[in-house]
Amino acid sequence: MNVLENRSGLATFFVGNNLGVLKFQLVQVNDQIYVLNTLLGESQDDVTKSQINGQIKFLQEEQIKVENSLLQNNKFSLFGWFANTL
């Protein structure tokens, strides 16, 4: 996310950004949250449940950061537009 935030406007206009990578990572985070929720339901140990809940909360916070970054960095790129027209 830091790379996207530090990229100049001119570079973003011509080359674009790596939003596809962030979108893919967002899907992976959603999958990890699903798996952890499944494990949470199967777990019997309170300590394990607490650790899983902590991980779920952390991933949900990261998910919000990525979603906000996607919204802020959704800018036009000449190369991206040209590639989409092909």
Q: Where are the domains of the chain?
A: 2-80
What is the predicted pLDDT for the residue at 1? Answer: 45
DSSP conformation class of 39: H
Number of Cβ within 10 Å of residue 36's Cβ equals 17
Give whole-number Cα distances, 43 to 19, 32, 47, 56, 57, in Å: 36, 16, 10, 14, 17
| pLDDT tens, residue by residue, 57-77 | 999 998 998 888 777 766 555
Extract the tokens encoding 85: 């027209």
| pLDDT tens, residue by residue, 7-61 | 455 444 444 556 667 778 888 999 999 999 999 999 999 999 999 999 999 999 9
What is the predicted pLDDT for the residue at 74? Answer: 61
At 84, the pLDDT band (50, 70, 90 cuts) reads low
Extract the tokens encoding 37: 């929720």
